[in-house]
Structure 1
Amino acid sequence: MTVAVSSRPPTTGMVVGALAFELVATAALAGPIALPGCPESCGDVQVPYPFGVGHGCFHEGFNLTCDETQHPPKLLLGDDVEVLDISLPDCTVRIQRKISWSQHAEFNGSWSVPAPDGPLRVASARNSFVAFGCNTVATLIPYSTQGPPNFASICAAVCADTLSGSSCSGVGCCRTSIAPFGTDIPSYGIQVRHLEEQAGEDTRAVFIVDQDWFSRNEAEMVTNFSKLVRPSDYGGVAVVMVDTIPAVLEWSLDLISDEGLFVLSPTGPRSSDFRCLSSNSFSYIIDGNYDRRRCNCSHGYEGNPYIGDGCQDIDECQLPDIYPCHGTCINVPGTYRCSSKKSISSLPGLITIIAISAGFGLLFALLGVTKIINKLKQRREKNLRQKIFRRNHGLLLQQLISSNKDIAERTKIFSIDELEQATNKFDKNRILGGGGHGTVYKGILSDQHVVAIKKSKIVVQREIDQFINEAVILSQTNHRNVVKLFGCCLETEVPLLVYEFISNGTLSYHLHGQSENPLSWKDRLRIALETARAIAYLHSAASVSVFHRDIKCANILLTDALTAKVSDFGASRSISTDEIEVLTAIQGTHGYLDPEYYYTSRLTEKSDVYSFGVILAELLTRIKPVFSSHSSEGKSLASHFVSMIKDCRLSDIIDPQIIEEGGAEDAEVIARLAEACLSLKGEERPTMRQVETTLEYVQGLKVHPKSQMTRISQNAPNDESYNENKGNEGTRLYSLEKEFIQSSEIPR
């Protein structure tokens, strides 16, 4: 059997398609398609970047060669694969591949793109899988690194006694679409099997082909293949008119490895954080894979989006068949305008104008009504906020802030809109923690200042009064070891406090949590001294004293530098300097609560001293204020600590880390100080000023330990002189503050 092979000229459809593309291309302003100094074509085929011929003319993986020994020159991909054309808008490359014929009944083969490791892949949507042969089953299987394939393309062809027909519909020839395996399939395996047990030596061919091209040439190929299968019917000579066929490949860019093709947009935000090199271009993802990208010119532009100034404006006025205009066509960048010369004088045209005008009038009326409703709604919300603001004594707080310049500079009254924006509408993910009097959120103000925002847990009058109480106390407090209040919001049923954000957690966490870096004895001494200074300042440094009433490790915040900040003044009480105690409902935390205050309801400054004594015991032992022992549950650290000191067993409960750091001598002094603070009778406890002085001596090692403990029993320094020395740390307006607090206690 003899096979005569001849090549075939391009079909009419291919010529028409090329002319249509050329027409659109010429409508754009002439722009570069290749890098400067690089050839833009090889023979009749254009070579746009990222493809290129020659060193420095292509992006990695897109190199081509131009065989100029042939006439006309041929553009080659790899060594022998001819490139027919390259489409930038479709990101496709059409290549010419030879048909492999076989006379074996069964065989295995493969079909791969040139340079499988490169960016080119088989365009499954643009190709068909075709098999020629009698009683043949052909299977196309993808080679993938993702594991065994889930899909395969299969077609079967049978032969009757007489071959006839002009379509590839299963008689001597079959075709099927290629299953969409994705954009990362460069190679396929091909399996050919015979339908019958005994197969003859018939001629067979299996290949991947451009489905558009095959549809145009299907009848001719089927007819010629019939001559090849049954050559005896045609004088013993089979003639095949086509020995090569086109196939379509596609490419995409890897956002990571091809990052040189992408730059940040200089013109502002776009659909993607990246865009292609040319202006008036954009990038888009492939098959939902963010890392796989392609570029295209924006609407109204044509050219090469992969190089600078590659996308040029289309002159739509030169293409009236594609961009119709029944008037004067005016080309503008990216589009065109069409100004009509005709005037509407007919009745139907007049009715159309009236109908359109009426429609717009109704639309504007609806928009106006909607706007009025929104305005009324906003006004009602504003009135409600003002009502709540007055009910929460916001006017009095404004008067208090405006009457003192120092307070006005430190404290601001925020609107609820500002705080909702700062906390993303009080998102749960912004919650930092919760105390006894509210939940704390992390917020970022409009000036990018990070703050902590406290919101009451329950909308009851008692909680509101506590928040107002904390606001008035902190607004007039200016001490480096007291948490700083930035302002508050009284426009809601639940008042909000805005204070400085302390990022390093609480003293309780560092003592009893699982911190990777335990506090050193030196840091514990300094934290104790700073806390004592803050409490002493609250007790004695102003005309109106403040009893905190909830001193505990959880209310002592630490900065990144481990500076102590006393917080949570929701339970605090302010009294004038001529008062030494106040009768009030019991409030505090179990384990820190003063027993004398608990049984008598008489709150004095010595109640805070007792709570501070518990903190000193925690710093020495790293034991929680209420702990479980083998003999009992819920044992008090205060009573256990005092008992161990009296039995001369301090070394049994002291933190071993203190001994290792050489702080045993100082620890004994601090233990005696804690014992004095934990006295059951308030009159036997030292004042916070005396505690502060003793801690200063211990930290500075200014006196012998015995003399340090002697000072505890001495009289406190004169409060007036202390007020004079510390008065510059804070300013209080007694009359306004008292009026504000009294007003918050009036039933509503």
Structure 2
Amino acid sequence: MHLQILVAVVLITMMASLGKASAHELPQYCETSCGNVSITFPFGSGRPGCYHSPEFLVTCNRTHSDGPTLFYGETNIVIKNMSIITGEIEVMSYVASDCYDNGSRVLNDSYDSFLKLFKFQISTKNRFVAIGCDTYAYIQGSRKNENFGTGCISLCTNKNSTRDGSCSGIGCCEIKIPDGMSTVNLTLNSYNNHIYVSDFNPCSYAFVVNQENNHFKFSSTYLRDFGKEVRMPTLLDWAIGDETCEIASQDTKNFLCKGNSECIEEYAGPGYRCRCKQGYAGNPYLKDNCTNKNECQGGNHDCVHKCVDTVGNYMCSCRRGYSGDGRKGGSGCTVKQSLVIMIAICSLIAFILLLILVTWVYVGVKKRKVMMLREKFFKQNGGIMLQQRISKDGGSHDRFRLFTMKDLNKATNNYDESKIIGKGGYGTVYKGILSDNKIVAIKKSKLLDQTKTQIEQFINEVVILSQINHRNVVKLIGCCLEAEIPLLVYEFIPNGTLSDHIHEESKSVAVTWDIRLRIATETAGALSYLHYAASVPIVHRDIKTNNILLDDSYVAKVADFGASKLIPVDQIELETLVRGTLGYLDPEYLQTSQLTDKSDVYSFGVVLVELITGQKALNFDRPEEERSLAKYFLSSLKNGRLFQVLDQHLQLKELPNEIIQVSRIAERCLRVKGDERPTMKEVATELEGIMASVIQKHPWVQSIENEEEGEHLLKQSANYYAFTDRGSGSSSTFDSMSKQITLPAASGR
């Protein structure tokens, strides 16, 4: 048998003649507050006349242990707040509990709660909440003499399965309160008498709580002990009487909404409510208590400029010269039309004049800065010195050009990315078309030292390179000194690098041994020319297959003089910091830093080996003993395995004598000591002799025909201007710019 305890309000229904107060003045003896709760009519305490009717009676206990406490009627239901604006009071209601000890219900525990209201209703802002891990809870009630019920279930197997703040059925469940409820009965029960959860949840709890401002948030600690004396805030809706505004207003004597108050039609429950009219404030249930509200003084207005208070309202005004209703939500304050037109015209004229002036000044200043900057760079990069050198040499003046930034910007479409034909560690190469429709390669370098000595050396090298007129050397056409770093302009070689044609399988088949021998001979002749025929001997210092370009007829063109050094005629060697490409670098130069023409000889020897074997100079994908092509080739040559290392794309069934001869030349070029290596003049002479013997053995025309057979493959090659080798890390470079001048020439151009 359930033990029923009354934990909510039983409203007073006594028919005692306490009288009713109509819309009149409140007696002075009525209490207006209790503790921190204001008592506002129609609620009141004490004598008749202080409250409207018995259901609005409240009692203030000023000797309560918690201090002055306001109770509902003569019950022990505590009122925490009341509002005449929303028509609500907040009371503290009891919590129903259902506890078990070893599966047996604990006697004298409240396991249900009963709340009966005759006039007031439970607000739908409340929620019905149940707490427990073995709990099902019901809320039963009546609405207009009609009974109904609903409920929720809360289950869980352990405390860790719950989540703080969540009341969705695991340890805690909640449902909305139906509207119009005036009588409520809460009932708790258990499926297994909390046997399986008794160690952390011996009890179930249920209550109705105001959730408008999140008064209740579930915590897993509530499963152990929610508290038997806990009360929860519950919101009640109240109104005057049972009649609507229309019917109640007919009783002019007892109707409370008079004077500057009005009856609220939005209230859906029984009875009516009052509120002060717009522009008035006060208690709408008291006679003449709704008085004018000064919106201007309180800042409760939407005036743009000036607020003027009126009875029950306010007005807005605008400044002189402005018109409108003066309200933010209305037309506001706008300038009168004539003034607007005048201001607009003057402002527009002033703006246009200012814009023209600013634009003119900006363009002029910017143009002046650009001109000054270009002039600064021109002088800084040795432009005056170069002009003097060119003027002294009438021949070079006709061949070598000084380009302006405007010329090269136009040629490259302002250095558009689509014009890039090569990138590397030293800069970028662009394909350009000059005003005379000549196609050129324009190199934009990254680094250049700016000391006076190095600039002089740079100008000297540019002048010398501009005078080189060799069939197998890429021609330097001119330069531009108006940029921070000079730009060099070379002739455009369309058929890519030698590295492309011997290392890419789709191209290497077409490059026969006769073609390779001719390329080697032409390259050797070009290097011999640089070493012995130039006005000042030039050591290239970075000979590799990536720096040997091929035109459409496979004519070799030695390119990229960015690392080159001029060796005075009275010196046979020059001390520099080491620079070059791993795999091609002269080991003696690497150890001593003494640069000689024999350093180029060593690098050319590696190029010969690449032409014979078709392998890269340095490849870390090969076994350790085969990574360095030079060492691997010398070892194979020593052990009589030359045929085994030949390029398979040569498709040779036997070892031709000329390959043996070229291999011997390569072996001599690759000797560790420079003194033991031949000169480039000797190498070029020997290769020319081998070429002559090949031509005698089979006409050169046949070789040309072989070239034409592969022409459609070769013309597919990209216009490639690379600064560094690609793949397998063989492009690692020893480089120093601190003791040498570097020509910002394109690698391969």
More helix by share: 1
Higher-Rg member (1/2): 2
Q: Please, what TM-score do these two structures have when normalized by structure 1?
A: 0.45
Q: Please, what TM-score do these two structures have when normalized by structure 2?
A: 0.44
